[in-house]
Each structure stands twice: as C-alpha cells, then as structure tokens.
Amino acid sequence: MVNILSYGCIVLGLVFWFWGTWPLLGRRSVLYKLHGLSVADTLGSMTIVVGLLLRIPQEWPLLVLALISLAIWNTVLGYVLAYCVTDDGGQEVSHGG
C-alpha cells in the first residue's frame, strides 16, 4: 500500500512538472509564464520528495531538509525574478518584441 501511494506521489509530481511547462508555449506575459512554471515546479518537486519519503523513511532528515529548502528557495527565487523585471517605480520593464 505504501509503495502504491509512493508511486502515486511521484507520478503526480511529474504531472505537476509537465502541467507547469505547458503554458510556456502560450502567448501570455513572461511573468505569467514564470509564475505558473515556478508554482507547478515547486508543487511537483515537493510531491516527488514526499513520495521518496514514503519509499525510504530512514532518510527522513535529508528529505525534510529538501522539502524546506524547496519551499524557501523557490519562494525567494520568485521574489528575485519579480524584482528583476520591474523598474524602480514597480512597473514591469518592457524589453521590446
């Protein structure tokens, strides 16, 4: 039962990864695409780590550290990306096109 749940989490994580990648082909703004990609990537990666936690529970300290790192790192990266594409007035910078 634990193996089935573990594989289910890993497959769900892969689905999140592909679900976040698909909108990159659309015509929306770069910020919208990056936001969707980062959210789906974070959820997918965290779900995969939970699946691994179910498969190898003796490695829980390392896997919990991975979960915390994913949550913090991807949140900070989202703020950095948002800051980099805005000017001093808080408006999105247009790079032509």
* Blockwise average pLDDT, block size 10, the chain, 97 residues: 94 93 82 82 93 94 93 83 68 56
**Which pLDDT belongs to residue 29?**
79
pTM: 0.77
What is residue 13's predicted lDDT score, i.e. its pLDDT? 95
**Which residue, among 40, 64, 38, has the nearest Cα to 50 in the 3D structure?**
64
Query: Which residue type is seen at 4?
Result: I
pLDDT confidence of residue 94: 58
Specify the pLDDT at position 96: 54
For 18, list phi and psi in degrees, rounded to 5.
-70, -35
Percent of residues in the chain assigned helix, strand, coil, to nearest 5: 80, 0, 20
